[in-house]
């Protein structure tokens, strides 16, 4: 009978793509190339746990584009490469190849050029993965889309891995929606929509940037056009400034030429003076040279005489030193000779000591040898006595043995009787002891000593007390943890406050820095002239700068302190009122009292109202508007709204004041932010300290709790032991009572038996005489033994004395030999000392005549020294006389040189003046070239001088040049490339406008594509949900053999955002969510959903990895029947990994995975359908 689920099935939608073969090389445990065919029907994979079956499933997922290492049970992707075993080295490459049958050309167009498609993923260690399709490298995305279009993929519903069923059971509804999306085939749509959204976001960001750039370029173009107008005015002023500069340069050039002529004339006179002074200096130098030539001979004669004196004095010093050395050497030899005589005497005394010691040792040796000879007779006597004592002892011991044997026989009979008595008496005594012990134990138990481990009640109270301490410690620990959590929360809040405060401080600095920079720039511009003017004292409300500039103009450049150009305070002047509709300028402008008349006679009107009111003005009055237009009473009108230098300075001044106020406010905000940051930092520090203290308190509380737990455990152990001991005592009391009664009865019986045994033993008396004879024999033996021990002790003492004498004799011989060696060494030392004494006597005798010879030589040197000193004094007198004459000549030469130097200095000053003039001319020439780009000969032409025209005075030319400089400075900073930059900005604006149009079109296209994808995905999801729900209900009823089930979309009205909930009612149960079912029911319900998804969108391959592990035998049979029907009714090929025997029997072919070699998987195959056909044929 066909199952009910097939009625709703639509397996005709199975994609025609067919996976036919998979090959693994170096992947995990499959080190060698392993190929397995995936034929039609069901293919099973079996094998023991840990042999590598799941590696086949992971290989398929990895080849289909899996990118997460954890999904293939790896820490990193290189872990899928075979890592080696004890017998095999590691590999550096892993490769998976999947072969797809494409005879019907159903693959995507990019890969539709062959009958088969081989998809390969290859990874090299440390180099990452590569994907290939028919030997051509492609992107991982291409492979993922290729499988996704066929309802396959690394994470598709067609591959049910271990734990997948549990994941579906425990997944949230939103997570289960992915199964529905896979069944609807919109996973690829999601990816494409995500890519489109990313492109849309990027395009919109580009559009925003283009709009920003376009706005910035338009603003820049307006600024550049205004700068171009300023540049034109700047060039006009610069041309006039160039002419004025040329006139002033011409004036300075002519003045420098006149100074040069005067300097050259002065230089000629100075050169003549230098020539005369040089001749006089040469004459004095000749006389000095003559004296200088004679001086070296005199110096040489003096030097030779001095050298002779020094040589003789040195020889005398050497003789004196040698005389001292001879005396010292003689004293040293005398000392050494006395020391040698002392050493010789001491060695003689040592020889005497050695002779005495050797004589003593010789006497002791003779004494020991004599004692040894005298002990020979004593040794013989002692040995004879010892032998006789041994004989007597042996005779006595034999007699004692015979007596002991007779006594033993007699005593044996008596002992038998006595033993019987003793045994019975002992038994009675033992019974008495046991009875006494039982009574004592009962008495001890009765008085309360039955619990040596303690009173159970008292120990129970201890347990309660310890429990209370432990509970208190736990409460303290909980409180400490709460305090720690609070302090950490406070610390986090403080850290956040500190971060916020620091961010505010940084933001305040960022606001303040540009304001200060702008203020400093304006201050430099306002102070550029360095001159105090009336304009600096005027205050103008913002917006009226151009009006004030039009009314006051360059008149504000006057000096407020007085001067050639200034304003005088003439007081107020009664005048006619301003025309109706105008407001006095003094309402918006304030300044010194000298300006009050001008301000009172100037009215401010609205734009374009001045033309109508100009006719109403009286003499001296004028009208202005905010744009800078001017209407005067005499008919003069200036309607240009351009910014003038004066208005610009007013704007800059107002802006400077605004910046000052803004900076004050910003500095106040920064100070407040800094204060908050400091407070937050202090709060954070306090919080950190509190956290540290709370953590320390928690550690102490934990330690206290642990100690309390240990104490509680110990107390409970003591209490349990005491209770056990108490029970044991009570049981022992009962046992002792029974034992006491039994022992009392036994004692009465043993007492009767003891009385009978004592009566039998009393009549036996034969052992007494034998015991007396044995005692006498024992006394004789003891006497013989005493004599033997005495003889033996004497013999032992004699042997010990002999050993001691022998050892002492050896010691004496060794000591005598040592003294003999010392005697020989001493005699040798005496020979050496006598030889040294003879040498010292000879040296002393040689030194006795040496001092007399040295004294004679010293007397001869004294006479030679006197003659040499006389010659030295004569040579010194001659040298001093000639040096005096030379000093006079040197003074004369110095005076002549001074006069010559003065004339040369005068000539140098003249040359310096000429050089300065030349440098000035050169500097002027260079200045003219740098400033005007011309030579001095071209200055007249540049200055515009007419024929016969003379130059104005220099101060007038400088004032004109200064005025033009000030006029050019008033123009402000000028961009001379403004016109060219404006053209460039206009071209850039055109280009940006074109780019903006293209981006707007792209945004519209992407939004349309996203909307279309959303509509398509939403529609396909709705349609698929109904189909999946029908399949789910059919499969559920088939697997459960009844019951009800359905799927629900929850949490959202939009299918793309909703979750998928499973509601099921197995036979005999209410309808409920899957989470409330039993374990087996959950597994069957999840499998029902998996097969419902598969029936909705079949895949060419379905992989089931041990999904039947949680099913019982009956459910396994229904599960296998379902697989069989799917395999027969579709082109889907099923790959089933299983351990269940029944599932194995339903497979068309089986692959066995084994691990005969540790860490290396191998595969064998059996075609069960073919084998069954062969069996039936046979």
Rounded Cα gap, residues 650 and 537, in angstroms:
11
CA distances from 299 to 290, 293, 304 (A): 15, 11, 9
Rounded Cα gap, residues 1102 and 1108, in angstroms:
15
Instruction: Judge whether residue 11 has pLDDT over 50.
Output: no
Instruction: Judge whether residue 95 has pLDDT over 90.
Output: yes
Kindly report the three-state secondary structure assignment for every residue of 573-640. Answer: CCCCCCCCCCEEHHHCEECCHHHHHHHHCEEECCCCCHHHHHHHCCCCCEEECCCCCEEECCCCEECC
> What homologous superfamily is domain 1-156+1106-1126+1138-1177 in, according to CATH?
P-loop containing nucleotide triphosphate hydrolases (3.40.50.300)
Q: What is the pLDDT of residue 1177?
A: 53
Q: What is the pLDDT of residue 183?
A: 73
Handedness of CA 609, 610, 611, 616 (dihedral sign): positive
Q: Are strands 42-46 and 1149-1157 parallel, antiparallel or unpaired?
A: parallel
Rounded Cα gap, residues 1098 and 1090, in angstroms:
11
* pLDDT digit string, tens, across residues 57-84: 888 889 888 888 888 888 888 888 988 8
Q: Which long-range contacts (CB under 8 A, 24 or more apart) does 1046-1051 make?
A: 1047/1089, 1049/1025, 1050/173, 1051/173, 1051/174
CA distances from 154 to 20, 65, 71, 173, 372 (A): 18, 6, 9, 21, 111
Which regions of the chain carry the CATH code 3.40.50.300?
1-156+1106-1126+1138-1177
Q: What is the pLDDT of residue 3?
A: 37
Rounded Cα gap, residues 1161 and 1163, in angstroms:
7
Q: Are strands 128-133 and 136-138 parallel, antiparallel or unpaired?
A: antiparallel
Give the pLDDT band (50/70/90) at residue 449.
very low
Q: What is the pLDDT of residue 770?
A: 65
* pLDDT digit string, tens, across residues 255-313: 777 777 777 777 777 777 777 777 777 776 777 677 667 667 767 776 777 777 777 77
If you average pLDDT over residues 739-760, what whole number do you get? 68
State how far Cα 303 lies from the chain centre.
Answer: 81
Q: What length does the chain have?
A: 1178
Rounded Cα gap, residues 1131 and 1100, in angstroms:
7
**DSSP output for 835-883:** HHHHHHHHHHHHHSSHHHHHHHHHHHHHHHHHHHHHHHHHHHHHHHHHH
Q: Which of 258-267, 412-421, 522-531, 677-686 is modeled with the greatest confidence? A: 677-686
Query: Are the C-beta atoms of 29 and 82 separated by less than 8 Å?
Result: yes
Query: Are the C-beta atoms of 462 and 708 separated by less than 8 Å?
Result: no
Question: Which of 9-23, 256-270, 949-963 has the lowest average pLDDT?
Answer: 9-23
Instruction: Judge whether residue 773 has pLDDT over 80.
Output: no
Cβ-count burial 372-382 (b if 16+ within 10 Å, e if not):
eeeeeeeeeeb
If you average pLDDT over residues 479-508, what whole number do you get? 78
Q: What is the pLDDT of residue 13?
A: 43
Give the pLDDT band (50/70/90) at residue 5.
very low
Q: What is the pLDDT of residue 1?
A: 35
Q: What is the pLDDT of residue 836?
A: 75
Query: Are the C-beta atoms of 1153 and 46 separated by less than 8 Å?
Result: yes
Which burial class, exposed, middle or buried, applies to 1113 when counting CB atoms under 10 A from its CB (0-12, 13-18, 19+)? exposed
Give the pLDDT band (50/70/90) at residue 131.
very high
If you average pLDDT over residues 1109-1125, what whole number do you get? 83
Give the pLDDT band (50/70/90) at residue 22.
very high
* pLDDT digit string, tens, across residues 778-794: 777 777 777 777 777 77
Residue 646 DSSP SS3:
helix
Q: Give me the percent of the chain exceeding a pLDDT of 70.
A: 82
Q: What is the pLDDT of residue 94?
A: 92
How does the average pLDDT of the chain come out, rounded?
A: 76
* pLDDT digit string, tens, across residues 1064-1099: 878 877 777 777 777 777 778 888 888 888 788 788
If you average pLDDT over residues 1146-1174, what whole number do you get? 77
Residue of higher predicted confidence among 682 and 882 = 682
Residue 907 DSSP SS3:
helix
- The closest of 584, 581, 578, 583 to 616, measured between CA atoms, is 578
User: Residue 99: beta bridge partners?
Assistant: 21, 118
Give the pLDDT band (50/70/90) at residue 413.
low
DSSP state of 535: G
Residue 1147 DSSP SS3:
coil
Kindly report the three-state secondary structure assignment for every residue of 695-710. Answer: HHHHHHHHHHHHHHHH
Rounded Cα gap, residues 1020 and 783, in angstroms:
130
Instruction: Judge whether residue 460 has pLDDT over 80.
Output: no
Rounded to two decimals, the pTM is 0.38
């Amino acid at each position: 009978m066909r199952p009910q689920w097939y009625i709703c099935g639509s397996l005709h939608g199975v994609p025609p793509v067919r996976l036919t073969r998979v090959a693994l090389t170096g992947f995990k445990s499959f080190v060698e190339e392993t190929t397995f065919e995936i034929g039609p029907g069901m293919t099973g994979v079996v094998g023991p746990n840990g042999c590598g079956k799941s590696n086949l499933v992971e290989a398929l997922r990895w080849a289909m584009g899996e990118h997460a290492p954890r999904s293939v049970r790896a820490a990193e992707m290189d872990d899928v490469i075979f890592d080696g075993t004890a017998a095999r080295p590691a590999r550096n490459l892993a490769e998976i190849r999947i072969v797809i049958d494409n005879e019907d050309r159903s693959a995507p167009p990019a890969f539709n050029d062959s009958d088969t498609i081989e998809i390969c993923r290859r990874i090299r260690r440390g180099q990452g993965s590569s994907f290939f399709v028919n030997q051509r490298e492609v992107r991982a995305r291409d492979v993922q889309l290729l499988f996704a279009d066929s309802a396959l993929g690394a994470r598709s519903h067609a591959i049910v891995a271990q734990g997948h069923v549990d994941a579906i059971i425990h997944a949230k509804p939103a997570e289960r929606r992915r199964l529905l999306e896979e069944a609807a085939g919109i996973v690829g749509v999601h990816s494409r929509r995500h890519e489109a959204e990313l492109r849309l976001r990027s395009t919109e960001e580009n559009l925003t940037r283009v709009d920003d750039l376009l706005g910035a370029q338009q603003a820049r173009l307006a600024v550049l056009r205004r700068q171009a107008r300023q540049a034109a005015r700047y060039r006009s002023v610069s041309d006039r400034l160039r002419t004025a500069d040329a006139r002033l340069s011409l004036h300075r050039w002519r003045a420098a030429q006149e100074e040069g002529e005067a300097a050259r004339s002065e230089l000629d006179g100075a050169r003549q003076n230098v020539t005369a002074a040089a001749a006089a200096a040469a004459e004095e130098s000749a006389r000095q040279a003559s004296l200088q030539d004679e001086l070296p001979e005199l110096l040489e004669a003096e030097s030779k005489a001095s050298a002779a004196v020094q040589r003789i004095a040195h020889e005398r010093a050497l003789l004196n030193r040698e005389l001292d050395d001879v005396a010292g050497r003689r004293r040293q030899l005398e000392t050494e000779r006395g020391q040698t005589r002392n050493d010789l005497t001491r060695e003689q005394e040592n020889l005497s000591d050695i002779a005495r010691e050797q004589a003593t040792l010789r006497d002791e040796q003779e004494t020991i040898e004599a004692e040894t000879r005298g002990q020979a007779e004593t040794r013989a006597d002692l040995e004879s006595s010892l032998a006789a004592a041994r004989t007597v002892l042996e005779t006595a011991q034999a007699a004692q043995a015979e007596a002991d044997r007779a006594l033993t026989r007699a005593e044996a009979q008596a002992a038998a009787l006595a033993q019987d008595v003793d045994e019975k008496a002992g038994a009675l005594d033992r019974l008495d002891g046991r009875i006494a012990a039982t009574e004592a134990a009962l008495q001890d138990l009765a008085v309360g000593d039955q619990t040596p481990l303690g009173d159970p009640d008292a120990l129970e109270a201890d347990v309660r007390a310890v429990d209370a301490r432990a509970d208190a410690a736990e409460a303290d620990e909980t409180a400490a943890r709460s305090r720690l959590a609070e302090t950490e929360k406070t610390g986090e809040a403080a850290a956040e406050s500190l971060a916020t405060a620091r961010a505010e401080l940084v933001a305040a600095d960022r606001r303040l820095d540009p304001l200060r920079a702008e203020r400093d720039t304006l201050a430099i511009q306002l102070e550029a002239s360095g001159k105090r003017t009336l304009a600096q004292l005027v205050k103008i409300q913002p917006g009226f700068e151009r009006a004030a500039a039009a009314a006051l103009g360059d008149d504000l450049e006057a000096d407020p302190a007085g001067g050639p150009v200034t304003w005088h305070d003439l007081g107020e002047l009664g005048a006619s009122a301003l025309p109706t509709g105008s407001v006095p300028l003094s309402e918006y402008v304030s300044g010194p009292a000298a300006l009050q008349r001008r301000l009172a006679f100037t009215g401010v009107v609205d734009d374009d109202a001045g033309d109508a009111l100009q006719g109403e003005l009286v003499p001296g009055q004028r009208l202005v508007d905010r744009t800078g237009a001017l209407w005067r009473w005499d008919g003069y009108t200036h309607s240009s709204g351009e910014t003038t230098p004066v208005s610009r300075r007013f704007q800059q001044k107002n802006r400077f004041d605004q910046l000052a106020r803004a900076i004050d406010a910003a500095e106040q905000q920064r100070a407040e932010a800094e204060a908050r940051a400091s407070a937050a930092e202090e709060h954070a520090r306090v919080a950190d300290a509190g956290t540290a203290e709370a953590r320390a308190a928690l550690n102490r509380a934990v330690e206290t709790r642990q100690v309390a737990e240990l104490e509680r455990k110990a107390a409970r152990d003591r209490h349990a032991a005491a209770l056990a001991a108490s029970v044991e005592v009570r049981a022992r009391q009962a046992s002792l009572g029974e034992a006491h009664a039994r022992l009392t009865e036994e004692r009465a019986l043993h007492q009767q038996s003891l009385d009978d045994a004592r009566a039998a033993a009393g009549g036996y008396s034969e052992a007494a005489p034998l015991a007396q004879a044995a005692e006498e024999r024992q006394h004789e033996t003891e006497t013989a033994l005493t004599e033997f021990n005495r003889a033996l002790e004497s013999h032992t003492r004699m042997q010990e004395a002999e050993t001691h004498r022998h050892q002492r004799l050896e010691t004496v011989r060794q000591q005598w030999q040592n003294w003999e060696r010392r005697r020989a060494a001493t005699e040798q030392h005496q020979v050496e000392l006598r030889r040294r004494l003879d040498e010292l006597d000879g040296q002393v005798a040689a030194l006795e005549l040496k001092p007399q010879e040295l004294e004679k030589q010293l007397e001869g040197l004294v006479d030679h020294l006197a003659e040499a000193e006389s010659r030295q004094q004569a040579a010194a007198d001659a040298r001093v006389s000639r040096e005096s004459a030379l000093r006079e000549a040197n003074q004369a030469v110095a005076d002549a040189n001074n006069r010559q130097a003065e004339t040369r200095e005068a000539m140098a000053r003249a040359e310096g003046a000429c050089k300065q003039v030349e440098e000035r001319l050169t500097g002027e020439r260079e200045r003219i070239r740098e400033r005007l780009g011309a030579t001095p000969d071209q200055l007249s032409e540049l200055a515009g001088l007419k024929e016969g025209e003379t130059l104005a005075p220099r101060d007038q030319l400088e004032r004109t040049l200064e005025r033009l400089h000030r006029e050019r400075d008033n123009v402000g900073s000028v961009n001379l490339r403004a016109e060219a930059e404006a053209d460039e900005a206009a071209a850039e604006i055109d280009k940006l406008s074109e780019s903006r149009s293209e981006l707007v079109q792209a945004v519209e296209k992407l939004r349309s594509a996203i909307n279309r994808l959303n509509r398509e995905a939403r529609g396909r999801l709705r349609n698929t949900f109904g189909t999946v729900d029908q399949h789910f209900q059919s499969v559920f009823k088939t697997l459960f053999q009844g019951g009800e089930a359905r799927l629900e979309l929850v949490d959202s009205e939009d299918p793309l955002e909703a979750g998928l909930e499973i509601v099921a009612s197995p036979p005999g149960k209410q309808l409920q969510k899957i989470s409330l079912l039993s374990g087996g029911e959950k597994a069957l319900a999840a499998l029902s959903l998996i097969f419902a998804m598969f029936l909705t969108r079949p895949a060419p391959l379905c992989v089931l990895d041990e999904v039947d592990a949680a099913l019982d035998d009956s459910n396994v049979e229904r599960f296998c029947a379902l697989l069989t029907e799917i395999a027969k009714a579709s082109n889907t090929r099923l790959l089933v990994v299983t351990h269940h025997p029944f599932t194995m029997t339903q497979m068309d072919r089986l692959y066995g995975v084994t691990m005969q070699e540790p860490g290396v998987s191998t595969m064998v195959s059996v075609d069960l359908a073919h084998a069954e056909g062969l069996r039936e044929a046979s």
